[in-house]
A and B are shown apart, each in its own frame.
Chain A
Amino acid sequence: MLCQSCNQKEANVHITKIINGVKTELHLCEDCAKQKNEFNFSSPFSFGSDLSFQNILDGFVEVMGGSKPQYFEEEKCSVCGTTFEDFRRTGFVGCGNCYKEFNKNIVPLIRRIHGNIHHTGKLPRRAAGLLKLKRRINNLKEELKMAVNNEEYEKAAKIRDEIKELEAKIKDQETRG
């Protein structure tokens, strides 16, 4: 079996996760597994059995290598001054902007905690119209990818038109403020 991530090397790391009753299987080569920080799962169920934040964080750091990875020194939120090292130590970010600035490192962690990185729940009321449009576009883009993969070009063209239309709507709403 080939690695699901790079499609090049032999997959020799197999990961099963069960979250909310949904089983996810991942087959990766060693290199990609390390990159995805999935390597440290000691058992298929380790995700749910001890989900303290510090454990997840510790696992995360171990995967990244025994010595301090260099990004810890550099990353600092430009708004609140929290460093990634602060976050790693306490489990708390300092402000909403931290999620943007630490995005690359924090998103894999969030995926580890929740098994997902896409919010599908409630939207703030005032921003809801715009956010719903954006969410619809994201879904359509997924559909578009599938249609292209399945060589359903007519369908793909239709979806592409719909995306364009929605994007124009967003532009319109944003310029009107």
Chain B
Amino acid sequence: MDKSVENMFGTDIVLTSRIRIARNLENMPFPHKMTNEQTRKLINEVASSIIDSNSAIAHTFDLIKLKDINQLERLSLVEKHLISMDLFKNYDKTAVLLNSDRTVSIMINEEDHIRLQVIYPGLKIKEAYEYASRLDDLIEEKITYAFDSKLGYLTSCPTNIGTGLRASVMLHLPALTITKNINNILNTVTQVGITIRGIYGEGSNAMGNIYQISNQVTLGLSEEDIINNLLAVVNKIILQEKRTRGIMLEKQGMELEDDIYRSLGVLKYARVLSASECLNLLSKVRMGIEMGIIKDIDINKINELIVKVQPATLQIIEGRELDSRTRDITRAKIVRKSIS
């Protein structure tokens, strides 16, 4: 099985915790102002700071230049959240360092020179930050960062200045979505400098009921405060999701159970599945497992499917490009094989 998909997500409401740190080099224009020669040099310099270091983890990293892999492989990295759209779009001058268990990705020549990302399954945002910070120190042994004693780490967009830290937690919130309570939460958290957005799909129309909760403010707070604020909000949201599930179970338990099993039925027998239908059905089944209604399916199987049914990853598994109808048929086949 694909190593990068196995155990990618947690087994409860929290799928992943992600830390992203933005850094730039001193005395070097930001990526959108760099010459091709400079982007090449920077890739080597950043890669060397990790790969040629004395650290025990040095040999676990691979450097992938985005121009050296094909379009599908690049898209699949986006679907797995290992690279950003920005890195994907500028593939002719960008690169990424990935570690062997795919928990760390260091993007080079993104919006900033370096975007260091650590993703852990489950609610481990503090651990993810600690590791990211250690890697940050390792890079800094060889590289001098652009830093201002007042404004902190300088970034190409002022929305990231200061700590350069974006901490996010990916949550599975089907009950809050079904009851539309998610809209209230959206309005409340933005007032405390936190944002929520759907992971798959456009705008607030979140496919698969999966949301990303992140800090908005990066300057004026310590990393610890940023993470603690985020955790406080995330814990409240988790509590509300659990409460809402409890109320649904109490008031409309049979309907809820019916909905969950119908979803499982469709996934088991459907012959054509679009990405959005599939993600929404997987979400219902995942909720069923989380609530103990479905007992004989391993949640990791569902986690794995959430990634596998994404268009580009699906085509890589099949080993060829597929038109959208063939994709929907293939998707149904993969799901059927996995959970029946």
Whether, in the assembled complex, B152 has its beta carbon less than 8 Å from a beta carbon of chain A, the answer is yes
Is the CB–CB distance between A117 and B220 below 8 Å?
Answer: yes
Is the CB–CB distance between A124 and B147 below 8 Å?
Answer: yes
Q: How far is the CA of A85 from the CA of B306 in the complex (A)?
A: 43
Residue of B nearest to A135 (CB): B149
Is the CB–CB distance between B140 and A48 below 8 Å?
Answer: no
Binds B, one of A15-23, A148-156, A159-167: A15-23
Binds B, one of A4-12, A26-34, A61-69, A92-100: A92-100
Residue of B nearest to A20 (CB): B193
Residue of B nearest to A94 (CB): B33
Q: How many A-B residue pairs have CB under 8 A?
A: 140
Tell which of A45, A48, A127 has the most Cβ of chain B within 10 Å: A48
Size band of the A side of the interface?
A: 35 or more
In-complex Cβ contact of B217 among A92, A115, A118 (8 A):
A115
Contact residues in A for B150 (Cβ distance below 8 Å): 117-119
Tell me the interface secondary structure of chain B in the complex: loop
Whether, in the assembled complex, A134 has its beta carbon less than 8 Å from a beta carbon of chain B, the answer is yes
Contact A49/B30 with A114-B220, A117-B220 known, Cβ cut-off 8 Å: no
Is the CB–CB distance between B222 and A120 below 8 Å?
Answer: yes
Is the CB–CB distance between B156 and A121 below 8 Å?
Answer: no
Is the CB–CB distance between B145 and A49 below 8 Å?
Answer: no
Contact residues in A for B68 (Cβ distance below 8 Å): none
Give per-residue flags for A29-55: 1 if the beta carbon is below 8 A from chain B beta carbons, else 0: 000000000000000010011010100
Contact residues in B for A120 (Cβ distance below 8 Å): 220-222
What are some 16 contacts across the A-B interface (CB < 8 A)?
A: A20-B217, A20-B221, A21-B192, A48-B192, A51-B195, A91-B158, A96-B24, A109-B158, A114-B162, A114-B220, A116-B217, A117-B151, A120-B221, A120-B222, A121-B226, A125-B141
Give B residues with C-beta under 8 Å from A. 24, 26-30, 32-33, 111, 133, 136-137, 140-141, 144-154, 156-159, 161-163, 165, 187, 190-193, 195, 216-223, 225-226, 229
The 9 closest A-B pairs by CB, nearest first: A116-B220, A119-B152, A96-B146, A114-B219, A121-B163, A48-B190, A94-B33, A96-B154, A95-B29
